[in-house]
Amino acid sequence: MKRKDKRLKELAQKAKQTDLVYQIHQTIEHHFPELFLWMEEIEDCRKKKSTYAIAELLTACLAMFLFKAESRNGLNNLREDLRFEKNYQRLFKMHLPHMDTVDRVIRLLKIEQLERLKQQMVKVLIRRKVFQKQRYRGQWYCVAIDASGVTSYQEQHCDQCLHKTSKKGCTSWFHNVLEARLVTPNGFSISLLSEWIENPSDKEYDKQDCERKAFTRLAARLKQDFPRLPILILADGLYPYEGFFMTPEFV
């Protein structure tokens, strides 16, 4: 009986994943019909002729999160399901590459180009007035500013790693990013911009100092990339200080 229940659960999960493929395809067709063309505009960092196009690799990367695969290996397992692979190819008109291949290429792409792709998509939604009814008092788009940890290490990962030392003398290494997110009352949280928090060259990581400096850079980019967007900033207790209220982009 348990084996039968497990089989039924697996079939239900596969049916759910197939349905999700259709939903994602419909969303892309409706809002972002040029998405794959935008992806192909990203500079190809590979020097040799490759089996997969940039759009195929980026779509696979998105698929890992959209299908909640939890890991590259998880999506590779899905990739081996013939029905899933058939539906994926039929709807997106592209192959699903092995995720190790995706990982190797994604690591080489320029962050600025991926940011631009994200902004293209967000601007389409704003232009189509998708979130117009979600504006505060019918006028301002609510944009939440907050930092979050991305990953941590027991030893230095790269030159850009943040680091701090505990009272016991143990040093930890990590990466944090400051996000500007469009948030709505009905639960949407959509990234507008991301700004990596930098480590001071002459001292250890200080959350207050580093995050505020990252905000200054983020504010300038927000004004540059969304100059006419009416924004209401949402921030925590770290931000009510003189420098925040004197930020030129918001005065």
- pLDDT given at position 163: 80
Instruction: Enter the tokens of residue 152.
Output: 């941590």
- pLDDT given at position 202: 58
- pLDDT given at position 206: 63
Tell me the C-alpha distance between 179 and 190, whole Å.
Answer: 10
- pLDDT given at position 181: 96
Q: Return the number of other C-beta atoms located less than 10 Å from residue 208's C-beta.
A: 10
Tell me the C-alpha distance between 89 and 31, whole Å.
Answer: 20
- pLDDT given at position 121: 95
Predicted TM-score of the model (pTM): 0.81
- pLDDT given at position 250: 59
Q: What is the pLDDT along the chain (251 residues), one digit of tens a residue?
A: 566 666 666 666 666 766 777 888 888 999 999 999 999 999 988 878 888 999 999 999 998 988 888 889 989 998 898 888 888 898 889 999 999 999 999 999 998 999 999 999 999 999 999 999 999 999 999 999 998 888 888 888 777 788 888 788 888 888 889 999 999 999 999 999 999 887 766 566 666 668 888 888 999 999 999 999 999 999 888 887 767 776 766 55
- pLDDT given at position 201: 62
pLDDT digits (tens, 9 = 90+) for 41-94: 999 888 788 889 999 999 999 989 888 888 899 899 988 988 888 888 988 899
